[in-house]
Chain A
Amino acid sequence: MKTSRWLWPLLAISSLAACLLLISGLIYGISTILYPAESNLQRVNVERDDQLNEDGVWTILALGDSITKGTGDATSKGYAGQVRDAVDAWDDTEVRLINMAVNGYTTEQLHTQIEQQNGVIVSIQQADAILLSIGVNDLYTPGEEVLPEDVADSMTQALSRIEDIVQALTELNTDVRILYTGLYHPLREIDPDGELAALLREWNYQVMQVADAYPQVVFVPTYDLFGDNGTRYLSGDHYHPNEEGYKRIAARIMQVLEEDWHE
């Protein structure tokens, strides 16, 4: 067995060096994990950056609850995805959709999200249009008994938060177009006296008033889209729209955007 003379010294030195390096890493690692130092990290807030909007891409940001998320749509596009596809078909401008909606979000959660999630703050500044649906989860929980007195109570608070949300959005991005999708009534069958219907109409009316105070905000009504035979446009849970239902919402939004686009 012939062995070259330098093999053993080379092997011995390199493996010994590797071994010592790894042992020191091990000791360093164990001591760092077992005796961690007190954290001294501070939250970093994203700086406002007007360059973000100037990236040449037409950005649609979707914010809010399950309606904007697209829950119930078999293609999982939702109305936001439909709008994106429609805008994309217009001309050569590159379009992107950032969907940050979360199932079950309330106005309070959305407000926190806008104030605190850095990724959301960045995308608000990138956005050319914001699609927004929020509020229904403040009013009632689907599947649970709906008490009109409770709905009326939570409405006042939720409405003032809507105002805060719009305020925060327009502060971050002054020229963004904000499209608020109004509430519809999916529970007509179990609301024969129309008590909830009255409250939902009241909600829509109040939000429309907020929208009127801001030139960027448009209220998009959907109440009539899911009328008496509205179940045809609802998904299996009898609550969220289905693909066709979302298409109808998207069509409304496109009417607003088209008008903007041609200006």
Chain B
Amino acid sequence: MNSLLPLVRNEMLKLWKKKRFFVIIGIIAVLIPIFTYAQLRVSLDRQEQIGTSDWRVSLQQRINDYANRMSSPRVIEEWRKWMSVEVQRLQYYLDHDVNPEEPSGVTFTREFVKNAVGLFVPLLVMVIASDLVSSEHAQGTIKLLLTRPVSRWKVLLSKYLAMLLYVSLIVTALAALCYIISGAVFGYGGWHAPTLIGFQVAGADIDTSNVNMIAQWRFILMELGLVFYTGVLVGCIALMVSVIVRSTAAGMGIMLATLIAGTILSNMVSSWESAKYFFMVNMDLVRYLSGDIPPIEGMNLSFSLWVLTVWAAASIIVSFSVFTRRDVY
């Protein structure tokens, strides 16, 4: 422990000096205003189209819109299922007089984080984690690091801890910036707006026997926790790649390809059942909170958590065994 703390400190400060965290903050600070504006346009457009500001009427119209599209015989089965679940979920909100999209900075944050878990957060984590080891090789500093009187596994462990701490910073900063920026447009309230959780998807139907109402801040807290777990998993995989592949560019390429393949897969794997063992298909844990339909039927939170944990554990084992045995020259 005595030797580990300075190592973690060293890693944290090194990452800080590399200005990677500023890059991430910059990316977030540029993207969120764009999405805030887009969201504003969408809600103004919708209001204009329907000609009413009463959310109950516009939500009801959206529901009936889905119902109409479902009635067409040309709709793909997957879509029909998705719309059927969506119709039942939204109608449940309406039946209980809860606005699922009460416009506020908190609601925007909730929705943004939910959509960010699949690709955006993993990419940000990758910016930090994918060259943690390989850059030491590239710059030749790996020798300096390994000639210190500490065991190799401690060096690697300190990198893992630094990654873990930075992932927490990224997720928190994402939510905070999202709230601050979008709040300027949508208002800073909404912490106590009612939110429904506990929808269980069963095929094309939804089970509402466990649906409960919670304050929105609780939803966001849980949501961020789940996003954090996904972020740490991505960090572990990226670190493993960075241990195995000595070139930073190649490591980043591998991670990018994997993540993007994952989003494509999630949209098309529904008929390929064994694809559910890929970690990329399981990254969106937030859907189990909001009650969205999972990419493959039968997936649930415990399954996804198991898959993610097994992948993370395997990547940790691989990187430790490679890192402690590899010849450095």
Binding site for B on A (CB under 8 A): 1, 3, 7-8, 11-12, 14-16, 18-19, 21-30, 32-34, 36-44, 46, 57, 69, 96-104, 116-120, 122-123, 126
Complex CA–CA separation, A30 to B285 (angstroms):
10
Closest-CB distance, B180 to chain A (whole angstroms): 16
Quick check: which of B22-30, B220-228, B265-273, B274-282 contacts chain A, the rest being far away?
A: B220-228
How far is B172's CA from A178's CA once the two chains are assembled, in angstroms?
54
Report yes or no: A118 in contact with B288, Cβ–Cβ below 8 A. no
Smallest beta-carbon distance B75→chain A, Å: 12
The answer to whether B51 and A39 have CB atoms under 8 Å apart is: no
Nearest-neighbour CB distance to chain B for A241, whole angstroms, equals: 17
24 A-B contacts (beta carbon < 8 Å): A7-B16, A12-B12, A15-B12, A19-B164, A22-B228, A26-B222, A29-B289, A30-B225, A33-B198, A34-B302, A39-B209, A43-B96, A96-B51, A98-B51, A99-B64, A100-B61, A102-B64, A102-B67, A102-B68, A117-B91, A117-B94, A119-B60, A123-B57, A126-B52
Contact of B97 among A11, A14, A44 (CB under 8 A): A44
Residues of B within 8 A of A98 (CB): 50-52, 57, 61
Q: Are the CB atoms of A123 and B212 closer together than 8 Å?
A: no
Cα(A18)–Cα(B305), bound, Å: 21
Q: Quick one: given A25-B224, A30-B305, A117-B91, are A8 and B212 in contact (CB under 8 Å)? A: no
CB-CB < 8 A to A19: which residues of B?
Answer: 164-165, 168
Residues of A within 8 A of B67 (CB): 102-103
Asked if B229 is an interface residue, CB under 8 A from chain A, the answer is yes
B208 contacts the other chain (CB 8 A): yes
The residue in chain A whose Cβ has the minimal distance to the Cβ of B60 is A119
Contact A122 B301 (CB under 8 A): no
Interface residues of B in 165-218 (CB under 8 A from A): 165-166, 168-169, 171-172, 196-198, 208-213, 218
Q: Once the chains bind, are B68 and A69 in contact (CB under 8 Å)?
A: yes
Contact in complex: B169, A25 (CB < 8 Å) = no
By a CB distance below 8 angstroms, the chain B residues around A100 are: 60-61, 64
B327 contacts partner chain A, Cβ-Cβ < 8 Å: no
Residues of A within 8 A of B165 (CB): 12, 15-16, 18-19
Most chain A CB inside 10 Å of its own CB: which residue of B56, B57, B289, B302: B57
Is the Cβ of A8 less than 8 Å from the Cβ of B13? yes
Partner of A123, one of B60, B169, B172, B213: B60
Task: Indicate with 1 or 0, residue by residue over B80-106, a CB within 8 angstroms of chain A CB atoms.
Answer: 000000000001001111000000000
